[in-house]
Amino acid sequence: MAENLFLIIAALVIASAFWVVFSPNLIHSAVSLLFTLFSTAGLYIFLYADFIAATQVVIYVGGILVLIIFGVMLTNRIDTPSIAASSKNQFIGGMGAFSIFVIQVSVIFNTPWHIGTEQSRDSTVASIGYLLLNEYLLPFEIISILLLAALMGAALLSRRT
Amino acid sequence: MDSLQSYLIIAAILFSMGIYGVITRKNAVAILMGIELILNSANINFIAFNRFGGMANLDGHVFSIFVIVLAAAEAAVALAIVINLFKNVGSVDVDDADLLKG
């Protein structure tokens, strides 16, 4: 049961990511990205990362994807039924991506990974909160300031002068 | 099936798809979608290594939270730049963004 579910989720991730980069319609790409992000959250649940899965759904699907769809809508004529997303350099891009994939696969299968003993784990939220406020307090604060500055800069850049 | 290698293979496929999208797409927003795929594959790797490495701590989860925050910041700034490009050039085709060319 869990095996089949894992296979279905993995196939969904790969198929929807395929359609994100190959679809001739930009809106179809954006909707396909929704499926990719959702099924990636499913993969996180398989990896016992409940908090990351929830964060993935809230921030990626609820935030970034909506932002991307707004970007599509604001930069195209939406009265045309299909927003074209043309591609070029397919051959070079395909060769480059495929060679990178081959290198990655050979590294994955030739490296003797250290597989530790399986840790049984409760909800990860408490430990992540502890880590963020102790060991990673400074990076946490710096990335908050970075996010604030980036959002203010984005609002400043895109306002109508 | 539920092993470290299977997750790494999924992440490698996502990464290659993202690279292909970034190289071949002409629309700037579609390039942004490819970047999101690449960041997602990095996140899957972080979580998978944290799960299968036998570590008692959750450092990989914290790093993937940082990656998600960086992706949010990057998407906001990139879309502001894309909208400005659309206002100045009239299209979001990256081939048309050659205003600096002499």
Query: Please, what is the average pLDDT of chain B?
Result: 89
The answer, for A114 touching chain B at a CB cutoff of 8 Å, is: yes
**DSSP H helices in chain B:** 4-24, 28-52, 59-89
What whole-number distance in Å separates Cα of residue A66 and Cα of residue A71? 9
What mean pLDDT do residues A113-134 have?
Answer: 83
Amino acid at residue number B26? K
Give how far Cα A5 sits from Cα of A39, A42, A78, A123, B79, Å: 11, 10, 38, 21, 35
Interchain CB contacts (distance < 8 Å): A and B: 233
Closest CA of chain B from A98, distance in Å: 7
Chain A residues closer than 8 Å to B32 by CB: 68, 71
Chain A residues closer than 8 Å to B45 by CB: none
pLDDT at site B86: 87
The answer, for A89 touching chain B at a CB cutoff of 8 Å, is: yes
Chain B residues closer than 8 Å to A143 by CB: 66, 69-70
Tens of pLDDT along A56-70?
999 998 889 999 988
Residue A41 has pLDDT above 90, yes or no: yes
The answer, for A72 touching chain B at a CB cutoff of 8 Å, is: yes
Residue B13 has pLDDT above 90, yes or no: yes
Contact B73 A146 (CB under 8 A): yes
The answer, for A125 touching chain B at a CB cutoff of 8 Å, is: no
What is the end-to-end Cα distance of chain B in Å, rounded?
55
Closest CA of chain A from B102, distance in Å: 24
Residue in chain A closest to B19 (alpha carbons) equals A97
Complex confidence, ipTM: 0.89
* Predicted TM-score (pTM) of this structure: 0.90
Residue B1 has pLDDT above 70, yes or no: no
Give how far Cα A108 sits from Cα of A90, B7, B9, B17, B53, Å: 26, 10, 8, 17, 15
Tens of pLDDT along A134-156?
999 999 999 999 999 999 999 99
